[in-house]
Structure 1
Amino acid sequence: MERDPEILREITEISPILAGLQGRNVFSVPDGYFSELSTRINEELTTQNIIDTSGKSAPQAVPHDYFTTLSTTIIDRIKTQETTETDEANILDTISRRNVLSVPEGYFETFASRLLEKLNNNSRARVISFQKNSSVFRYAAAAVIGLAILGTSYFLINNNAKKNNSFAVVTKKTVPDPAAAQYNSLKKFNEGIASLSDDEIIAYLETHGNILDNDQIINDGDDTSLPDALDYLTDDKALDNYLKKINAELN
């Protein structure tokens, strides 16, 4: 058969590999394939029959006389279950006649009052109690401030007298307390403060707490430079710093 050049050209355009085969048979089988084919088929069928036969046997086994004793086993289990349920029912029956939960006598009668009492106790604000020494500190601080104001007033009067070429004399008429007349100098004033004990300061304030003329102190004294009341609570050295400031101004 003569090959058509036009067909070859089209095949070459479609698949150059197919055109290169040029009519050769690319399929092949081993030598003697068809002569041994029937033998291999019979062997395959025999193997398949063996597998099918083994699949018909029961893969699981049961104990000996399993089905013979099956009914007896089922009845025994039912009786055991009934006995267990009967025992549980007897236990529950005895409990049902008893109240296993109890509360103290009069619990519900006093419940409302006890609840209100607890609520009132919880709503109270927490009270922080200061130690006894804090009162001593307050008395001491008040006494020192009072003496500092007296001393400041004395030195201001003394300085004004020096500027006017006159003398300031501390007498019983110029100070509220006659005992303060002995503190007519800065040295004696500091010695007097240092010699006072806490008990003496407290006793003095309790006895002579109303001697000071508050109006006179407010009018004559300058309290703009005094520390704030909160400074004494937040700073332990507030009073010392204030006294040092006064001494520096006087010197």
Structure 2
Amino acid sequence: MENDLENSEWMNEAPHLAGLSVKHPFSIPEGYFEGLPADIEEAIFLDDLKTSTPESGFNLPQGYFESLSTKIQAEVVGYTVPQDYFQQLQEKIATKTTAERVSKTFRLWHSKALKYASAACFVLISTLGVYFYQHTNPSLSLSADAANEQMLYDIDENTIIEHIQSNSLTQESPLVAEADLENYILSNYSQNEIASAL
């Protein structure tokens, strides 16, 4: 009874604290006790490993750092620059580049015969090119087809309809549904291609 009275007193004095949920603040990760023996064995093994090996793990020869600077200087001696090297470098580069810049003139036309022979070859090749172009030019036959096709476009639409009706021609029904044709056209042609075909 006294406990209930004490509990109610502190609850009245600290309502915020009393409103907090009552739960244990410490939690143990799941599977902690199952993995504990393996964790302990690993820790013991690592501790034994640390004590059985030397602290650094590497051994340096005695006096290594004291003799290091002399070793480096001995190796660098082979890489010295001759005296006044950089002062003479500019002059050496200038002499080499100006010496190689001597212009050489080659005559392309040594004789008049070479000039006439090359002109004759040019005329012969040009003539053969024009001859073969006229006899094998596909654009000439295409231009006739284009003219015939243009004449078909010039025929009035009503004239074509009257011709079809007068000859009692019937329209054949396609083997494919119109919806399938529309889907094929829309999936295989762009809007620009469809608009240019109309």
- TM above 0.5, yes or no, is no
Q: Which has the larger radius of gyration?
A: 1
TM-score by length of 2: 0.29
Which structure shows the bigger proportion of residues in helix conformation?
Answer: 2
TM-score by length of 1: 0.24
